[in-house]
Structure 1
Amino acid sequence: MPKLSVVIPCYFNEENIPVTARELVANEANFPPEVSFEYVFVNDGSGDNTLGALQQAQTTYPGKIRIVDLAANVGSYNAIVAGMAHATGDCLAVITADMQDPPELMVQMYDYWKKGFKLVIGNRQDREEKGPSRWFAQTFHWLMKRLALKNIPDGGFDFVFFDRIVSEEVVSLRERNSNVFYLMVWLGFPYVNIPYVRRKREIGTSRWTLSKKIKLLIDSLLAFSFFPVRAISVIGLLLGAIATVYGIYIIALKFMRPDEPEGWTALMVVVLFVSAFQMVALGIIGEYVWRGLDAARSRPLYVVKDVFEQK
Structure 2
Amino acid sequence: MPKLSVIIPCYYNEANVPVTVKELIDNEVRFPTGVEFEYIFVDDGSGDQTLQALIAAHDQYPDRIRVIKLAGNVGSYNAIVAGIAHATGDCLSVITADMQDPPELMVQMYDYWQKGFKLVIGNRQDREETGFSKWFAQAFHWLMKRLALSNIPDGGFDFVFFDRQVADEVTKMHERNSNVFYLMIWLGFAYVNIPYVRRKRQIGTSRWTISKKIKLLIDSLLSFSFFPIRAISVTGLGLGVIALIYGIYIIGLKILDPQGPQGWTTLMVVVLFISAFQMVALGIIGEYVWRSMDAARSRPLYVVSEIYGFTKSKS
Which bin holds the TM-score, normalised by the shorter protein?
over 0.9
Greater shift in the superposed pair: 134-143 or 52-61: 52-61
Counterpart in the other structure of 1:107:
107
Counterpart Cα distance in 2 of 1:210 and 1:194: 28
Counterpart in the other structure of 2:13:
13
Q: 1:226-267, CA deviations, whole angstroms, 9 ceiling, x for partnerless residues?
A: 000000000000000000000000000010001112101110
Q: Share of identical aligned residues, percent?
A: 77
Counterpart Cα distance in 2 of 1:64 and 1:310: 10
Specify every segment of 5 or more residues in structure 1 that has no aligned partner in the other structure, as ranges.
none
Counterpart in the other structure of 2:269:
269
Counterpart in the other structure of 2:134:
134
Letter in 2 for 1:80: I
Counterpart in the other structure of 1:70:
70
Letter in 2 for 1:119: L
Counterpart Cα distance in 1 of 2:265 and 2:93: 61
Q: 1:151-174, CA deviations, whole angstroms, 9 ceiling, x for partnerless residues?
A: 000000000000000000000101
Counterpart in the other structure of 1:40:
40
Q: Secondary structure at the match of 2:122?
A: strand
Counterpart in the other structure of 1:286:
286
Counterpart Cα distance in 1 of 2:229 and 2:206: 33
Counterpart in the other structure of 1:191:
191
* 1:232 partnered with 2:232: yes
- Spell out the pairing of 1:1-311 with structure 2 (5 A cutoff): 1-309=1-309
Greater shift in the superposed pair: 258-267 or 180-189: 258-267
Counterpart Cα distance in 2 of 1:222 and 1:208: 20
1:62 CA displacement? 2.5
Counterpart Cα distance in 2 of 1:261 and 1:119: 67
CA RMSD of aligned residues (A): 0.7
Q: Secondary structure at the match of 2:88?
A: coil
1:306 CA displacement? 1.1
Letter in 2 for 1:286: G
Q: Secondary structure at the match of 1:126?
A: strand
Q: Secondary structure at the match of 1:230?
A: helix
Counterpart Cα distance in 2 of 1:171 and 1:80: 10
Could you list the structure 1 runs, at least 4 aligned residues long, displaced by more than 6 angstroms after superposition: none
Q: Secondary structure at the match of 2:80?
A: helix
1:61 CA displacement? 1.7
Conserved 8 A contact 1:64-1:310: no
Q: 1:110-165, CA deviations, whole angstroms, 9 ceiling, x for partnerless residues?
A: 00000000000000000000000000000000000000000000000000000000
Counterpart Cα distance in 2 of 1:46 and 1:272: 46
Q: 1:174-223, CA deviations, whole angstroms, 9 ceiling, x for partnerless residues?
A: 10000000000000000000000000000011000000000000000000
If the length of structure 2 is used for normalisation, what is the TM-score?
Answer: 0.98
Conserved 8 A contact 1:254-1:260: yes
Counterpart Cα distance in 2 of 1:55 and 1:177: 30
Specify every segment of 5 or more residues in structure 2 that has no aligned partner in the other structure, as ranges.
none
Counterpart Cα distance in 1 of 2:82 and 2:163: 16
